[in-house]
Structure 1
């Protein structure tokens, strides 16, 4: 006896779409511009390799307006975190969106989880910039924190 396994996702409510693992189902959702398409693309990113998810993320970016673009970029961030790699098309989408937009978290996750040697040149430059800026900020804040601690210690000894 063969038991048919029914999917755990519901397109009417959006329930279970983060468990999406069927690219054909997402393609159908893209064709009908389903309102839960963003969640389905994220689910696909959580369950499939970048080569499978990438074309669907690109299509979702073309279909989804304004704030809806956050979903495909969140899917891109998940791919970077889980697989440690992205496709050339996703790098191009990140570059097109740029810094200061919906792609910020995806760019940050890409810089954190994709090996430096695998990054395209524009992201390597961004990685160097972010790393130098954060290092200088830490160096600058270390003495400021020490002065603050000394001041609290002096104030504490006066009140006692």
Structure 2
């Protein structure tokens, strides 16, 4: 069977479905490793992809870490579950960095009962904040009108 991926150009790596091929790319620290990890996440279950994502996080510097976290986000979306190691990686990275989208997707697509306690607390915080903001939006025009009326009374 011929493979549809090209390590030189990166073409077809999003169709990656061979964990051994990704292991070889991890061993040689290939330039296209990030795309291959995302492809593996799109085509394999979390238990297969998880150790490769963790290794990629260890190998890839700076902005390259976005790729493994994107792979985690895809796993959350497609499978609705993550492994304990992936939850640990999200927690270690924290908010305000490369893991933001992966954390958001995990909160959206993984059932609440399956989340670890630290993510359950985050889910409650985000849900309460979004609900309050939704309730406050209709009050914004009232405040603007009030400021406009008060502004006209001044000489």
TM value normalised by structure 2: 0.91
CA distance in 1, matches of 2:91, 2:28: 28
CA distance in 2, matches of 1:145, 1:39: 46
1:15 corresponding residue in structure 2: 11
Q: Any gaps of 5 or more consecutive residues in structure 2?
A: 146-155
Change (3 A) 1:117 1:144: same
The 5 Å alignment of 1:16-35 reads: 16-35=12-31
1:158 corresponding residue in structure 2: none
CA distance in 1, matches of 2:133, 2:35: 36
* 1:130 to 2:144 alignment: no
The 4+ residue runs of structure 1 with deviation greater than 2 A are 145-148
The 5 Å alignment of 1:62-141 reads: 62-141=58-137
1:58 corresponding residue in structure 2: 54
CA distance in 2, matches of 1:119, 1:50: 15
Quote the offset at 1:142 in angstroms: 1.9
CA distance in 2, matches of 1:74, 1:37: 13
CA distance in 1, matches of 2:96, 2:37: 22
Q: Any gaps of 5 or more consecutive residues in structure 1?
A: 151-160
Aligned length: 146
CA distance in 2, matches of 1:122, 1:142: 32
Aligned Cα root-mean-square deviation (Å)? 1.4
CA distance in 2, matches of 1:82, 1:146: 42
Change (3 A) 1:146 1:22: farther
* 1:47 to 2:43 alignment: yes
Quote the offset at 1:143 in angstroms: 2.3
CA distance in 1, matches of 2:112, 2:79: 14
Superimposed CA distance per residue, residues 10-60 of structure 1 (whole angstroms, 9 cap, x where no aligned partner): 000000000000000000000000000000000000000000000000000
